Structures are given as C-alpha cells and as structure tokens.
Amino acid sequence: MNKTYLIFLLFFAASYSSPGAAADPANVYEDFVRCFRNKTNISDKDLTDVVLSRTSDSFTPVLRAYIRNARFNTSSTPKPSVIVLPRVDSHVQAAVICTKTLNLQLKIRSGGHDYDGLSYVSAVTFIVLDLSNFRNITVDMKDDGGSAWVQTGATLGELFFRIWEKSEVHAFPAGICPTVGVGGHVSGGGYGHMIRKFGLTIDYVVDATIVDVNGRVLDRKSMGEDLFWALRGGGAGSFGVVLAFKVKLVEVPKTVTVFRIDRTTDQNALDMVYKWQFVAPRTDPGLFIRVLLASPTKNKTQTVNAKVRALYLGNASDVVSMMAKEFPELGLKMDDCKEMTWIQSLLWWMNYKDVEKVKPEVLLEREPDKAKFVKRKSDYVEKEITKPELNRLIQQLATLDRTGLVLNPYGGNLNATATNETAFPHRHKLYKIQHSSTWSDARPEADRLYVGSLRTTYRIMTPFVSKNPRSAYLNYRDVDIGVNDHGKDSYRKGENYGRKYFGENFDRLVRVKTAVDPDNFFRNEQSIPTLPHKRR
C-alpha cells in the first residue's frame, strides 16, 4: 500500500472520534446482522450471500474482485469489517440505516475504479456496500428517441452492449473502459471519445433513484432539483447511494472512422503535438483526437513517443480531407484510417486489432481480481503551451520512467452547457491532462520510484496548467491534492480539494450536502463537507 496514503490513514484513525474506530470485526458483524435482519426479514440462506463477515469464504474473493488498483490490494491495506452485496433496494436501505445506527463508516463501491481506493479503504471501522449485483439495464427505444434505466453496479461495457442489442445506430456518450462502473463514472461527470460531439455523460441523465441518509428511496421528483444537480458531477457518494440512473441515448452514424498515428521526437512529434493544441479543441465536434505522450526507453536512448488515437463520427475520406487542411503536421492518410460501426470502435479502443472478428460480447467481461499498480493525477490547460516550453517538457518527460501524459481535447458542443448547469465546472478548458503511471512490480521501492516520477511530472507542469485553483477531475481521484478526516476543520480541509474538483460549484455542493446529510454520514477522505456550523 502506498506510503503517503497509509500515513494519512494512520493519522485519520488517531484523530477520528468515532467510537467504532477500533471495533472488533466479529462484534461489528453480529451487531450489523441483528439490525439487518430486523430491517429486511431476510432468510438465513440469503443472508450468507448478502452480508459477508471476514470469516466468510466469499469475503476475500468479493473484496478483491473490484479492487482495480493493486496498490490497495496488499496485506497491510485496511479491510472492511463487513461487505454487503445487496440484491434489492431494501438491502441498500437497511445497509444505510444499520451502518448509521452503529455509527460506522459506509464505503460505496460500484466498479472499483476509484484510482486511490476511497470506495473500499478506510482507517476507521467501515463497511463496504458493493453494488456489483445491481446491474440491471432496461433499454427503451420508444421513449423519446431512446433511453435506458441502468443500475449503478452495471459496467459501461454492459450498458453499451445492451444498447447495441436494440440498435446499431444508437449509443451513449461515456468512457471507453468497459469495466468501469456506471455509478462512479456518471456521478463524477463522465466523458468519453464523443465528448466534443455530445458533451459529458451527465448531460444525458434525466432521472435517478437514490437511498438517502434516512433510508428513503427517492427519485428526481421527490429528491428535488438541488440534490439531482449535485448527483451529476458532484460525486454521489457524498449524498447517498444511487441505485440507478435514467439516461437518454444518442444517435450515431452507421459508419465511423478511427485512426492511430505514432511519432517519436525525431519524427516530428514536437510539431505535431504543438499544432494539436490549436486544432483538436476547435475542429469539427465529431472528431476526437487524443494524444498520449509516453516516456519509454528505445535502444537505451531516452525518448518520448507521441501516440495519436482518434474517432471521427463519419467517413474516412471526410476526415482525411479535413486534416489535410487543418492539421497537415499529422500527415493523416487513408491507409491510417479504418471504417467500422460504433460498437466496433469501442473494441478498437480496447486494442483489438481485427474488430470484425471480435464479438461485442467481450464488452460483458468484468475481469474480476485483475489489477496493476497505478497512480493517476489530472490537470487542465487553458492556454496553448509554446513550442519552446513544450520542447523542454518533452525533454524532461524523457528522463522519467513509466510516466505518461494523456491529452484529451475539450471544445465542440461540450461548451454549449453552462458551467453551473451541472456540478462539473471545467467545460471551458482547452484540454485535460491525465498524468499516468502503471507498473507490475510489487516492491515498495517500485512504488516510490513510479509515484515519485509522476509527482515530478505534475510539478513540471505547474507553469502550464490552470491556477487558483489548479483544477482537477474528480474521476481521476488523487489524494495528493488534499484529504479530510472530518474533524474540527472539515470544511477548510474539504475546500482544499473541493475547489480544485468543483471550482465555484463547490459552494452549492456544500449547501446541498448540509441540507440532505447534515450529520455527514456519507463521507470519505475526499467527500463534500457540511457547512462549518453543521460539523459533526
């Protein structure tokens, strides 16, 4: 487990005032089961599948199944006292009420892609509410051009597949990693390779059901517009347990085009990346061009690769002609392009080479208990980096091992929605950067090396990214930018990361939080705090 986060957890445990901070897991399980039985009248047979103690044979496999970062899958990583695997709404209601009654912490896990493990790790006695069985998806093509109710434990791949079963020319604008859980992805904002055409995932959420702090199941009408606003981009885990979202579908062409182009620093990479800053955020909204800057070692000579990956919602001839005029530095040719269906484009982004030979059913694969060691950070760029500055940046990146930058263009129709229409505030940025490091070496010195390299890159980027605050993307969770023990200074500590994630929308999120959860039951190390006079 990474040292910085472990130090925080130890501090958190020492400073946190909950009487459950040192509770015996066996006693917690017995108390929880007693309450859970009372609230649900569940049978003994079903209970063993829904509420898991540490002694259960299923406990470790279930816990590990959706840990997507191996840094938090070690013997020293704090474990929950109980895991709840709800199958119906009443199980979620009981989990909330009983955890609250026992004055414990509830961690809510959808797909487990929380980069810093906040959905399944804590220093105090805690319970994990694992929503992986909440995966029902109902697609209705007759409803307003197409819609779907999707439970929050479903994956994006499952949602894409169920839409494809109904229509090959309908889609949903969301991320391209098929194992990501719907709950976290949507509530954190959500984006994918159609962001410039259709905007964010949350722009297509039209209803939701949530279990609130009192155990009530609410929909959009009964929860009110303030809470519904907060669930779209504000991180739902601060406000309740979202059971399902209703989303609108979008129409896509029968034929889309993908292409990839790789360049090294001695193959015009600098000129290409520099020009990308001016083209990618301003070109046709149907074109999404991602750039990955990676620092491999080539023939023992340090270099940087610039890898372009792109989707165009249209024909290859059109995008080749467009790029010849707008982006000649890219050198795009017809041979670089592949035409396919939208569902095949998802398989292409998953790095399948012959998508015609791959069945879309691979989108249903959850790949449980499969994780590498990762660390991610995020930034936003508001003004193009000059070519000399970019050159120096690339030279510095070349000295760092296993460190990369993923550049995602904004612009297009993303800007059509006001920054306060949802809780996501970063719509008018030029592009987003994901700082990325992935490794397989489990030794502590490897963790120090790669995390240290990533933090060095983050420091190097300081002059070129947003300031006051230095903005960050909630779904690229990063405990380096601030954590909260929810003690006396909860609001101030919450501001440290809250302003970076939410900008001016942080104030409204705090007001909503204070109104719907005044005692701050739904909390984690980076949750929305209550107003100071409502602190625990």
**C-alpha dist (Å) from residue 136 to 58, 149, 154, 191, 336:** 22, 8, 7, 22, 39
Known active-site residue 501 = no
Cβ burial 252-291 (10 Å sphere, 16+ → b, else e): beeebbbbebebebeeebbbbbbbbbebbbebbbbbbbbb
Statement to judge: residues 265 and 402 lie in one domain: yes
Inside any domain, residue 178 = yes
Residue 496: per-residue pLDDT: 97
> How confident is the model over 206-216, as a mean pLDDT?
98
Residue 295: per-residue pLDDT: 79
Whether 18 has a pLDDT exceeding 80, the answer reads: no
Residue whose C-alpha is closest to residue 438's, from 211, 115, 118 = 115
> How confident is the model over 275-300, as a mean pLDDT?
89
Residue-wise pLDDT for 81-102, tens only, equals: 999 999 999 999 999 999 999 9
Residue 12: per-residue pLDDT: 47
Residue 15: per-residue pLDDT: 43
Domain count, the chain: 3
Statement to judge: residues 294 and 420 lie in one domain: yes
Statement to judge: residues 291 and 173 lie in one domain: no
Q: In which domain, by residue range, is 120 found? A: 27-130
How long is the chain? 536
Cis peptide before 469 (omega within 30 of 0): yes
Of the three residues 251, 286, 312, the one that is the final residue of a domain is 251
Instruction: State which amino acid sits at residue 160.
Output: F
Residue 1: per-residue pLDDT: 54
Instruction: Return the higher-pLDDT residue of 261 and 17.
Output: 261
Inside any domain, residue 438 = yes
Statement to judge: residues 90 and 194 lie in one domain: no
Whether 14 has a pLDDT exceeding 60, the answer reads: no
Statement to judge: residues 306 and 447 lie in one domain: yes
Catalytically annotated residue among 5, 16, 204, 476: 476
Query: For residue 471, what pLDDT band results from cuts at 50, 70 and 90?
Result: very high
CB-CB contact of 172 with 163 (8 Å) = yes
Of the three residues 251, 279, 298, the one that is the final residue of a domain is 251
Whether 16 has a pLDDT exceeding 80, the answer reads: no
Inside any domain, residue 83 = yes
pTM above 0.75, yes or no: yes
Of the three residues 108, 130, 152, the one that is the final residue of a domain is 130
Whether 441 has a pLDDT exceeding 90, the answer reads: yes
> How confident is the model over 17-27, as a mean pLDDT?
67
Whether 10 has a pLDDT exceeding 60, the answer reads: no
Residue-wise pLDDT for 117-133, tens only, equals: 999 999 999 999 999 99
> How confident is the model over 180-203, as a mean pLDDT?
98
CB-CB contact of 147 with 43 (8 Å) = no
Worst-scoring range by mean pLDDT, 61-75, 392-406, 434-448? 392-406
